[in-house]
Amino acid sequence: DKKINSKIKVEIDSYQQLVEFIKEKVAGLSSYLLIDEEWKFCGMYKISSEFSSDYNFDELHSDEIRIISCDLSFQIQIDYDHNKIECEYIVYK
């Protein structure tokens, strides 16, 4: 049973900054990707460390993304609401 070691709110001002943050944290690691509420019906995607800076929340009607490392050591929570990006980086022990 993992417990939260730290929870950090990350200031993100642009999509590019968000993608760079994700790339830095998941470099060389496999992760799980959960999109909006769809993961409840489709499951999660297992991904490598490749992320596109072309992702557009508005066009794809996304408002929530979770990236969880396969070893369950951390999670990145991204919430998008009307051009505002909120990002939290959670580390587990």
Q: State the Cα–Cα distance between residues 44 and 85, nearest whole angstrom.
A: 22
Sort 64 into a burial class: Cβ within 10 Å, 0-12 / 13-18 / 19+.
Answer: middle
Domain total in the chain: 1
Does pLDDT of 45 surpass 90? no
Query: Average pLDDT for residues 42-54, to the nearest whole number?
Result: 71
pLDDT, greater one: 40 or 8? 8
Report the C-alpha gap between 48 and 39 in whole angstroms.
Answer: 18
The more confidently predicted of residues 27 and 59 is 27
What digits encode the pLDDT tens for the residues 10-19? Answer: 999 887 888 8
**Least confident interval from 26-30, 36-40, 83-87:** 36-40
Domain, as residue range, for 34:
4-92
